[in-house]
Amino acid sequence: MKEGLNKTSDPDTGMGRRRFLNSAAAAGLAGVGMAACSEKPATAVAGASAASGSATAHAQGGSSVHLKPGELDTYYGLWSGGHTGDMRVLGLPSGRELTRIPCFVPDALVGWGVTNESKDVMGRKADGSLRYTVADTHHTHASYKDGNYDGRYAWINDKINSRIARIRLDYFVCDKITELPNVQGFHGIFPDKRDPVDPAINYTTRVFCGAEFHIPLPNNGGDIDKIDKYRTLFSCVDAESMEVRWQVLIDGNCDLTATSYDGKLAATNQYNVENGAKYEDMMSAERDACLFFNVARIEAAVKAGKFKTYGDSKVPVVDGTRASNADAKTALTAYVSVPKNPHGVNASPDGKYFICAGKLSPTCTVIELNKVLDWFDGKLEKLDQAIVAEVEVGLGPLHTAFDGRGNAYTTLFLDSAVVKWNVEAAIKFHAGDKNAKYVVDRLDLQYQPGHVNASQSETIAADGKWLCVGCKFSKDRFLPVGPLHPENEQLIDISGEKMVLMADHPVRGEPHDFIIFKRELLHPKQVYALDDFPNAIKDPKESGVVRNGRKVTVKLTSQAPAFSMREFTVKKGDEVTLILTNLDKVEDLTHGFAIPKYNVNFIVNPQETKSVTFIADKPGVFWAYCTHFCHALHLEMRSRMIVEA
């Protein structure tokens, strides 16, 4: 059992007794995790009170998470919604949830998955019904300009069906969803920060997507028992068209994704270089990899026609496997060896480093971007020389955030803690300076943290004010609500030397990743533009029922407290498409539209148009009514749908 590059522990980490989790120890990992999770609350609480700070004892710089009534938060947070397939929008530091943006899964409030427009975005089967109604969102990131968020778009993944959704940040709506071809378990997502070739393009035009699970290619029933032939692909999606531009065939798997500030490299961490199908196999090697993609070279190869395609997909796939990329001068990919089943790869805000957390190794590995570029240029002999630090930080390191002052914050899943460590000091320590104290602080969390992010963390404007941690277990932190516990999200003030825990809040399972940015960077619109909807009913006088054989179009507008038609009539068996435009222009004046027994309900915001299509299969009188309280006469806001037998 080799200990690889792992260094002796820093005394300040309190890690002296801990060793690299070698294969033997790691074989019991599932047991370790379970033990940690089933700790008695009493033990856990003792741990919490021993944390290095509490909000009351150590309030720094007047920071407060408590906003007076009417006061606005200073940061937006975009959170993945997990199983609910949406994006949650939080205000910070209050932690208040402001809205949820449905993407992959139907949503009862807005009628997502009910209206034609949302079904078209979500994707339909041949019979018009939704292709999928489940999702598992993990990672979310927003578009960049000049190294900072520009407020145009955010993207979020669906791991189950390998879909990527785009959210327009002017209206906070999902406007496009793309399903990635020939992959399973699409997980990590990261937009580029500029173009690797054209200096004029200093904003996001690509989104990189890493897929975790390896499968037969094409996956159509062949090669089922040839696990060594299974492969996965790394995908590049066009930020504007949302089409898949290209994919890279790789060895091992993809997990999370990061991009360099110069646009030249995308990276993904790999926990399964073994290509294992069982977890024992996936953790049999002492080291896995952080895989770098040379974006300019890949696009040149695609242009030169050096690609193939799989199955029905027309997307060009270039060869990024190890064997085909051994020569640095022509390589499209570079596999940097890192220990062991790493989780998370993050790019530091100074643009210099990529950091992989070890997960089954108590280490973080720091890879210098320029050295990886040197390797591609034939100027660095061995790729391993790009590793400038590999230091112990604690047990079960997962994700890393940055404060813009040279410090990294890594969650320790097994230790239930977050560790603050200084990147330059870690590099000195790794180089042999045993006096370099790289661990700055450690804070106990409640409990088993996964994701972590700091305000503006992965931008050039990282401001080191707030740190949020998504804890996977809440145990005793909230009133019990039956067997399903909420997760616990914790807010930490990182403006000082010591981290200070400021607040907990429960969240419904299970968010993963999130980003936090200054509110000034977003300029949401409060009212839609009528012209943005091709089917808008711009004048109440256009209202009516238009028949074309058995197809009937009902054109309707809303203006508080009435719909433009007090009643409308269709015939049993008609295919009815009802278009509703909300002509109210007042901010916050939303109407709803529900039809009893027809499974229809959706809302229309000011100046918005939506439509639904259904078969009028039940004769009778149906009081369509407004479901969103809009006016003193809200209850009276109805329209009588008559279905003639």
Q: Which residues bind ligand CUK (CB under 6 A)?
A: 138-139, 187, 256, 343, 398-399, 450-451, 512-513
Binding to ligand CUA (CB under 6 A) within 535-564 occurs at 560
Measured distance CA(643)–CA(470) in Å, rounded: 51
Measured distance CA(227)–CA(404) in Å, rounded: 43
CB of 339 to ligand CUA, least distance (A): 59
Maximum separation of any 2 CA atoms in the chain, in Å: 87
Report the alpha-carbon angle 97-208-123, nearest 5.
65
CB of 473 to ligand CUK, least distance (A): 12
Q: Are 614 and 641 in contact (CB under 8 A)?
A: no
Binding mask 278-307 for Ca ion (x = CB under 5 A): ----------x-------------------
Q: What is the DSSP letter of 8?
A: P
Partner interacting with residue 398 (select from Ca ion, ligand CUA, ligand CUK, none; CB below 5-8 Å by kind) = ligand CUK
357-382 exposure pattern, b = at least 16 Cβ within 10 A, e = fewer: bbbbbbbbbbbbbbbbbbbbeeebee
Partner interacting with residue 250 (select from Ca ion, ligand CUK, ligand CUA, none; CB below 5-8 Å by kind) = none
For residue 477, count other CB atoms closer than 10 A to its CB.
Answer: 21
Tokens found for residue 70: 């009417």
C-beta of 155 vs 593, nearer to ligand CUA: 593
CB of 638 to ligand CUA, least distance (A): 9
C-beta of 271 vs 473, nearer to Ca ion: 271
CB of 567 to ligand CUA, least distance (A): 17
Q: Are 147 and 459 in contact (CB under 8 A)?
A: yes
Q: Which residue has the tokens 């971007």?
A: 369
C-beta of 119 vs 287, nearer to Ca ion: 287
- Sequence-ordered list of residues with C-beta below 8 angstroms from that of 129, at least 6 positions apart, any chain: none
Measured distance CA(100)–CA(489) in Å, rounded: 17
C-beta of 278 vs 303, nearer to Ca ion: 278
Binding to Ca ion (CB under 5 A) within 481-540 occurs at none
CB of 406 to ligand CUK, least distance (A): 24
3-state secondary structure string, 122-141? HCECCCCCECCCCCCCCCEE
Partner interacting with residue 628 (select from ligand CUK, ligand CUA, Ca ion, none; CB below 5-8 Å by kind) = ligand CUA
Measured distance CA(104)–CA(107) in Å, rounded: 9
User: Is 255 one of the binding residues for Ca ion (CB under 5 A)?
Assistant: no
C-beta of 156 vs 338, nearer to Ca ion: 338
Report the alpha-carbon angle 51-52-56, nearest 5.
90
Partner interacting with residue 341 (select from ligand CUK, ligand CUA, Ca ion, none; CB below 5-8 Å by kind) = Ca ion
Binding to ligand CUA (CB under 6 A) within 131-190 occurs at none
Measured distance CA(260)–CA(351) in Å, rounded: 7
CB of 560 to ligand CUA, least distance (A): 5
C-beta of 139 vs 442, nearer to ligand CUK: 139
| Residue of this chain nearest to ligand CUK (CB atom) | 450
Q: Are 404 and 461 in contact (CB under 8 A)?
A: yes
C-beta of 193 vs 343, nearer to ligand CUK: 343
* 127 burial type by CB count under 10 A (0-12 exposed, 13-18 middle, 19+ buried): exposed
Partner interacting with residue 637 (select from ligand CUA, ligand CUK, Ca ion, none; CB below 5-8 Å by kind) = ligand CUA
C-beta of 397 vs 511, nearer to Ca ion: 397
C-beta of 429 vs 625, nearer to ligand CUA: 625
Measured distance CA(83)–CA(135) in Å, rounded: 6
CB of 536 to ligand CUA, least distance (A): 18
Q: What is the DSSP letter of 608?
A: -
Binding to ligand CUA (CB under 6 A) within 586-645 occurs at 591, 626, 628-631, 634, 637
Partner interacting with residue 630 (select from ligand CUA, Ca ion, ligand CUK, none; CB below 5-8 Å by kind) = ligand CUA
C-beta of 232 vs 558, nearer to Ca ion: 232
Measured distance CA(287)–CA(363) in Å, rounded: 12
Partner interacting with residue 195 (select from ligand CUA, ligand CUK, Ca ion, none; CB below 5-8 Å by kind) = none
Measured distance CA(398)–CA(577) in Å, rounded: 49
C-beta of 624 vs 637, nearer to ligand CUA: 637
C-beta of 148 vs 269, nearer to Ca ion: 269
301-334 exposure pattern, b = at least 16 Cβ within 10 A, e = fewer: bbeeeebeebeeeebbbbbbbbeebeebeebbbb
CB of 562 to ligand CUA, least distance (A): 8
Partner interacting with residue 465 (select from ligand CUK, Ca ion, ligand CUA, none; CB below 5-8 Å by kind) = none
CB of 628 to ligand CUA, least distance (A): 5
Measured distance CA(470)–CA(462) in Å, rounded: 19
- Binding interface with ligand CUA (CB under 6 A): 560, 591, 626, 628-631, 634, 637
- Binding interface with Ca ion (CB under 5 A): 271, 288, 341
